């Protein structure tokens, strides 16, 4: 087991400079993988700040895995993410909403944070807030607005939004 861990750590040490070079060359999927590596159990000192910065940069360049990771991980405390969201940081809004959706969180606040991220054309955020509007989670039920936001997410290239849009269209067609 220990030998296996050393071997995996060795792999991480060899992969890091290669991923860094590719990321420096603006190969955004490499930046996403480098961020994940920075938080992996194979590195001696996980670097949350660098991972966040790498994902943020890659997400701004439409690398979907990075946008997803930012939305799913709690790399910085919720109060800090909420402050950054209020200050206009759309990625912080996307990240903060995930925590708000957990037990004890506020769906209304999650919906607001997602809408802020959506205004920056982060399609994964638009799809999430669209679904919340469609269902009435965290605020008034607004199926038409939810449908339109889902449509924009699909048109923006988010395949999952296109799949959800088909289901929403089928539901709308039912008598």
Q: What is the pLDDT of residue 165?
A: 93
Residue where one domain finishes, among candidates 26, 51, 72: 72
Q: Is pLDDT of 138 > 50?
A: yes
Q: Is pLDDT of 129 > 70?
A: yes
The domain that holds 151 is classified in CATH as: 1.25.40.10
- The reply to whether 123 and 83 lie within a common domain is yes
* Band of residue 124 on the pLDDT scale cut at 50, 70, 90: confident
Q: How far apart are the two ends of the chain, measured CA to CA in Å? A: 60
CB 55 within 8 A of CB 68: no
Structure tokens at 11: 């792999």
- The reply to whether 82 and 63 lie within a common domain is no
- Domain containing 103 equals 78-173
Residue where one domain finishes, among candidates 72, 97, 112: 72
HEC string of the chain equals: CHHHHHHHHHHHHHHHHHHHHHHHCCCHHHHHHHHHHHCCCCCCCCCHHHHHHHHHHHHHCCCHHHHHHHHHCCCCCHHHHHHHHHCCCHHHHHHHHHHHCCCCCCHHHHHHHHHHHHCCCCHHHHHHHHHHHHHCCCCCCCHHHHHHHHHHHHHCCCHHHHHHHHHHHHHHHCC
| pTM of structure | 0.51
Domain count, the chain: 2
Phi, psi of 63 (to 5 degrees): -85, 110
Q: Which pLDDT tens digit goes with each residue over 141-171?
A: 999 999 999 999 999 988 888 999 999 999 8
- The reply to whether 67 and 7 lie within a common domain is yes
- The reply to whether 122 and 163 lie within a common domain is yes
Q: What is the pLDDT of residue 94?
A: 64
- The reply to whether 82 and 31 lie within a common domain is no
- The reply to whether 67 and 151 lie within a common domain is no
Q: What is the pLDDT of residue 169?
A: 93
Q: Is pLDDT of 65 > 70?
A: yes
Q: In whole angstroms, what is the distance from residue 50 CA to residue 52 CA?
A: 5
- The reply to whether 127 and 167 lie within a common domain is yes
């Amino acid at each position: 087991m220990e030998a296996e861990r050393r071997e995996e750590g060795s792999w991480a040490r060899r992969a890091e400079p290669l991923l860094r070079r590719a990321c420096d060359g603006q190969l955004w999927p490499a930046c996403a993988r480098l961020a994940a590596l920075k938080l992996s159990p194979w590195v001696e000192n996980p670097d949350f700040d660098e991972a966040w910065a790498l994902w943020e940069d890659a997400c701004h360049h439409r690398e979907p895995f990075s946008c997803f990771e930012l939305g799913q991980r709690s790399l910085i405390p919720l109060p800090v993410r909420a402050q950054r969201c209020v200050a206009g940081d759309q990625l912080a809004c996307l990240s903060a909403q995930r925590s708000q959706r957990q037990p004890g969180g506020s769906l209304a606040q999650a919906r607001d944070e997602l809408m802020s991220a959506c205004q920056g054309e982060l399609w994964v955020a638009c799809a999430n807030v669209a679904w919340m509007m469609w269902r009435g989670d965290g605020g008034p039920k607004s199926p038409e607005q939810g449908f339109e936001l889902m449509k924009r997410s699909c048109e923006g290239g988010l395949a999952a939004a296109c799949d959800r849009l088909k289901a929403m269209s089928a539901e709308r067609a039912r008598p």
